[in-house]
C-alpha cells in the first residue's frame, strides 16, 4: 500500500496521523507538497508548501516505510527537473 501526502491533506486529513495509523502497511509514501497561491491549492516541491514534512518523515520512520517517493503532478510551466532538484536539496538538507 502507498499513501500520497498531498491528497490526504487535500481531503482534510493529517498525513502524519494517517501514516502512523497505517504503520507496518506502508511500503512507500509519495511526498508531494501543497502550496496556496492566489487562494488556489497547487502542487509544490517538497518543503516549499505548507505541509509538515518534519512530522511526515518522522511518522514514516516510525512506521518503517521503506521508500519515500518525490512526486509533483504539475510544475506550472517551471522546469520539472528544477522542481525535482529543489525537492532533493530540501530533503538532503534534512539529512535524507
Place of cell 510551466: 77
34 CB neighbour count, 10 Å cutoff: 18
The residues spanned by each domain of the chain are 1-36+53-63
| pLDDT exceeds cutoff 90 at 19 | yes
The whole-number pLDDT of residue 58 equals 97
Q: Look up residue 63 and give its three cell numbers.
A: 512506521
The whole-number pLDDT of residue 77 equals 94
| pLDDT exceeds cutoff 90 at 2 | no
Condensed to tens digits (0 to 9), the pLDDT of residues 33-92 reads: 999 999 999 999 999 999 999 999 999 999 999 999 999 999 999 999 999 999 999 999
The whole-number pLDDT of residue 8 equals 97
Q: Report residue 1's pLDDT band, with 50, 70 and 90 as the boundaries.
A: confident
Q: Look up residue 86 and give its three cell numbers.
A: 529543489
The whole-number pLDDT of residue 91 equals 97
Amino acid at each position: 500500500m502507498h499513501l500520497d501526502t498531498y491528497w490526504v491533506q487535500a481531503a482534510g486529513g493529517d498525513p502524519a496521523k494517517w501514516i502512523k495509523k497505517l504503520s507496518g502497511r506502508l511500503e512507500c509514501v509519495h511526498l508531494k507538497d501543497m502550496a496556496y497561491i492566489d487562494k488556489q491549492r497547487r502542487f509544490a516541491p517538497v518543503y516549499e508548501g505548507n505541509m509538515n514534512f518534519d512530522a511526515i518523515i518522522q511518522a514514516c520512520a516510525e512506521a518503517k516505510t521503506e521508500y519515500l517517493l518525490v512526486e509533483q503532478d504539475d510544475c506550472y510551466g517551471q522546469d520539472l527537473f528544477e522542481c525535482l532538484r529543489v525537492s532533493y536539496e530540501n530533503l538532503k538538507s534534512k539529512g535524507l
